[in-house]
Structure 1
């Protein structure tokens, strides 16, 4: 089913194909502060299709990527 209520805040979210997002460390509303790091990054999946990153990394992609342009990210 689809969710109609927003329970969290994921900073610098950039949408990619299939409806997932690359975003910074999320927090539960009403909190909206930026958190750079979480011990869960790169471990247990916490969402559906999203790629959580350090907030500074998500900010870089958010500010660098051009709107409505193709983007390929290669992780080595």
Structure 2
């Protein structure tokens, strides 16, 4: 329990320090922070889109293999 409490306090302290530094930053520094956040957000969204398309591709390949196996099994059953 003590470790969680200390971790939360440390996180709260870092958040307060970041807020104070941002509040006292120049407009150019604030814009640089905003640009960095927007770039990170764009990269994260691109990663999510790439991951989603890859998952769809893999699912499609699995479905095709399943259909091939099903057709092969039906053909074998019909021959017997």
TM-score range, shorter chain: under 0.3
TM-score, normalization by structure 1: 0.23
Q: Answer 1 or 2: which has greater helix percent.
A: 2
TM-score, normalization by structure 2: 0.22
Q: Answer 1 or 2: which has greater strand percent.
A: 1
Larger radius of gyration: 2
